[in-house]
Chains A and B, each alone.
Chain A
Amino acid sequence: MSSDINEIEVRFISRMLTRLVGEMNATVCEQCGKCSSACPVSKEIEGFNPRQLIAKVALGKIDELLRGDAIWTCTACLKCKERCPEDISPYDVILILRNLAYRAGYSYPAGYDDFIKGVKESGFISKPQAVRIRDDGKISRGDLGLPEVSGPGDLALFKVVIQGIIKAGREI
């Protein structure tokens, strides 16, 4: 994939993030671990731990995080944010790391690209599918008497607008 930002920018943003979380750590995060004990993913997936993730950011180990799987394992349930006595949000830090990993062209899950492709092609994350039923067979929207999905109208214009706003986002 192409990248929006170069290595120098990644290093710059990483330093900013480390400083930001470092300040939070020094003044507010006591590594109490309420986030990790609340996290429904930590209970099932070894190696996913929001408290450690915050500690790693504070220690400047951003590159390790960007190259690892952990940032892609958070389900964005927001329980860590809800439980933090100091109002720190591991979830928001993970979102920043995901965005950074994506923009810098590090590896990221392929599923997300399929959604983007789907929206550009049909307005939705995928085209309507013929769907499996519990007994054998498949049924489509038409079979159900449901109206056609009303897409974004002029698809060519829609695509132009999307490309334009993506470009604007890169330049901000």
Chain B
Amino acid sequence: MKYAFYPGCLSQTEQFGCLLSARETLQRLGLKLETMDGSSCCGYQSFRLSSPITWKFLTARNMALAERLGLDILTICNECNLSFKQVKKALSDDPQLRKHVDEALRVEGLEYHAKNETYHIVEVLHDKIGVERISDSVVRPLENLRFATHPGCHLFRPKELHMPDEAEPHKLDDLVKALGAETPDYPGKLDCCGSSIYASDEGSALKVAGRKLRSVKESGLDGIVTICPHCFRMLDASQGDLEDASGDERLRVPVIHYTQLLGLAMGINTTKLGLQFNMSPVELIYRL
């Protein structure tokens, strides 16, 4: 299996733990990841608000680059994945938009023919590689650990776009269980982490994240497993700010990206998985 690898802005520029662990584990599972030379931001975070057409052009440009490689896209970001799916539909529904985008693509010698698909890492792990093969790769089963899974909103919403995990998300849970851990339900599991307003309204974003962390703590679980770099950053890195804002130390809870957890179960060393970058007390998980 070979994909055009599209990590997205956040893991490329600052969330190196997500990037390192995804590359390491996917390659060990036999995937070939082709670098997308010439790629850029998908536009979702940057231009969707000020210039929707520029957002759609940027996503189309990345799809065109992958098409030139003759490959489907694998993204590790929930937001990029949503962007690719929304824009693919918009381009097929709106000939006027398509005309403008095609014109702009031609300036760089690119063409878009809607030939490739975009897959989120959850789809590749769960549906393509399969839970059984992932289970077989485990050398250190994560027994006696109970995690709160946080799939992230755009893994399953909006339902009309047939997102990777549909309306009743279970794939991240299946993938965690394949490593030997349990994933009990907890209040607010499918609620947002607050990350998308982090840049515009940090105070409110922290309050929304705090609600999630409190729920996990009160449920007595060992940590949070997420698979989106945005959710990961919000839940992991915001704990210090939250503590400063609320004076509440009880909100400290380990947060780990799924491919970091997978890597631990596969016996990969913590540095290769970028666990030094997690700001939450993640050693509580792997020292158990």
Chain B residue nearest to A125 in the complex (CB): B9
Which of B40-48, B126-134, B171-179 participates in binding chain A?
Answer: B40-48
**How near does chain B come to A32, taking the closest CB pair, in angstroms?**
19
Please name all residues of chain B whose beta carbon is closer than 8 Å to the beta carbon of A165 when the two chains form the complex: 51, 53-54, 57, 100-101, 104
A11 CB-CB contact with B under 8 Å: no
Q: Mark B2-41, 1 if CB is under 8 A from A, else 0.
A: 0000000110111010011000000000000001111111
B107 CB-CB contact with A under 8 Å: yes
Q: B20 to A146, Cβ gap below 8 A? A: yes
**How near does chain A come to B69, taking the closest CB pair, in angstroms?**
12
Please name all residues of chain A whose beta carbon is closer than 8 Å to the beta carbon of B274 when the two chains form the complex: 144
A40 CB-CB contact with B under 8 Å: yes
Q: A45-B204, A135-B276, A152-B40 are in contact. Are A162 and B197 (CB under 8 A)?
A: no
Q: B49 to A112, Cβ gap below 8 A? A: yes
Q: Mark A86-108, 1 if CB is under 8 A from B, else 0.
A: 00000000010011001100001
**How near does chain A come to B28, taking the closest CB pair, in angstroms?**
16
Q: A109 to B276, Cβ gap below 8 A? A: no
Q: B194 to A75, Cβ gap below 8 A? A: yes
Q: B107 to A160, Cβ gap below 8 A? A: yes
Q: A40-B208, A131-B277, A165-B54 are in contact. Are A125 and B188 (CB under 8 A)?
A: no
Q: A158 to B108, Cβ gap below 8 A? A: yes
Q: Mark A131-172, 1 if CB is under 8 A from B, else 0.
A: 111110001010010110111111001101110111011101
Q: A124-B41, A158-B40 are in contact. Are A72 and B49 (CB under 8 A)?
A: no
Number of A-B contacts (CB under 8 A): 191
Q: A146 to B49, Cβ gap below 8 A? A: no
B200 CB-CB contact with A under 8 Å: yes
B157 CB-CB contact with A under 8 Å: yes
Which residue of B53, B154, B282 contacts A169 across the interface (Cβ within 8 Å)?
Answer: B53
Please name all residues of chain A whose beta carbon is closer than 8 Å to the beta carbon of B9 when the two chains form the complex: 124-126
Please name all residues of chain A whose beta carbon is closer than 8 Å to the beta carbon of B10 when the two chains form the complex: 125
B217 CB-CB contact with A under 8 Å: no
A44 CB-CB contact with B under 8 Å: yes
Which of A22-30, A52-60, A77-85 participates in binding chain B?
Answer: A77-85
**How near does chain A come to B50, taking the closest CB pair, in angstroms?**
5
Which residue numbers of A lie inside 8 Å of B, CB to CB? 40-41, 43-45, 48, 69, 72-79, 81-82, 95, 98-99, 102-103, 108-109, 111-112, 114-116, 118-119, 123-129, 131-135, 139, 141, 144, 146-147, 149-154, 157-158, 160-162, 164-166, 168-170, 172
Please name the 4 residue pairs, one residue from A and one from B, whose CB atoms are nearest each other, closest first.
Answer: A111-B199, A109-B200, A77-B192, A123-B40
In addition to A72-B200, A150-B37, 20 A-B residue pairs with Cβ atoms within 8 Å of each other are A41-B194, A44-B208, A45-B204, A48-B204, A69-B201, A75-B195, A76-B196, A109-B200, A112-B50, A123-B39, A124-B12, A124-B40, A125-B10, A134-B277, A139-B16, A150-B36, A165-B54, A165-B100, A168-B103, A169-B51
What are 10 A-B contacts defined by CB distance under 8 Å? A41-B192, A73-B204, A77-B157, A81-B157, A99-B52, A112-B49, A124-B40, A128-B12, A150-B39, A165-B53
